[in-house]
């Protein structure tokens, strides 16, 4: 190929690039916004009965695991005793979030191992009360969750029933925390 031919082909290619280039549309792939995998929140009532402190780990933006802890005691027990009721529980749930952005519908199921002990004197009948026990409760979550995809303030509110094969306790919870 001669030098003149190469120069002509190069000039033609360059001319096409100059004429067509500005009209071509570049398509960039949109990078997904990273989601905050970790969250810590305080729940009033709900699956911790009185309160709980919880850690939530997002396996995916939609599916997460929650582990919580609650400990409290009451003295005197229901004003009918001089004893002390000690209550410890550990809410453990799997949850699913729907929705985009910050607002989500939250559904979940799980268990709550509960440890109870009572030591005191019954004022009504004058008998000694001593004992401890444990029970495994089932639980569910149906509610609203405000959690920015990339982290920040969390707000949750929902129905959080606790149940056994014989009993159902309808309860609700309110949570505040942070995702990171």
What span, in angstroms and rounded, lies between the C-alpha atoms of 99 and 81?
A: 49
Say which residue, 78 or 170, is predicted with more confidence.
Answer: 170
**pLDDT tens-place string over residues 132-168:** 899 999 999 999 999 998 999 999 999 999 999 899 9
Entry pTM: 0.74
Q: What is the pLDDT of residues 92-107, one digit of tens each?
A: 999 999 998 899 999 9
Domains of the chain: 36-179 (2.40.160.20)
Please compute the mean of the pLDDT values over residues 167-179 and round it to a whole number.
96
CA-based nearest residue to 139, from 96, 169, 105: 169
Average pLDDT over residues 58-78: 88
């Amino acid at each position: 190929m001669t030098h003149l031919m190469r120069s002509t082909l190069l000039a033609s290619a360059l001319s096409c690039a100059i004429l067509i280039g500005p009209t071509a549309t570049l398509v960039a792939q949109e990078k997904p916004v990273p989601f905050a995998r970790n969250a810590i929140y305080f729940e009033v009532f709900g699956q911790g009965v009185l309160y709980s402190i919880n850690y939530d780990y997002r396996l995916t933006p939609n599916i997460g695991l929650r582990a919580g802890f609650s400990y409290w005691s009451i003295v005197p027990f229901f004003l009918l005793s001089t004893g002390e009721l000690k209550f410890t529980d550990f809410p453990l749930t799997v949850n699913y979030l729907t929705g985009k952005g910050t607002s989500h519908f939250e559904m979940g199921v799980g268990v709550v191992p509960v440890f109870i002990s009572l030591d005191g004197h019954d004022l009504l009948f004058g008998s000694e009360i001593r004992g401890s026990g444990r029970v495994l409760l089932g639980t569910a979550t149906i509610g609203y969750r405000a959690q920015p995809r990339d982290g920040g303030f969390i707000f949750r509110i929902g129905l959080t029933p606790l149940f056994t094969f014989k009993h159902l306790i309808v309860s609700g919870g309110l949570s505040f925390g942070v995702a990171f």
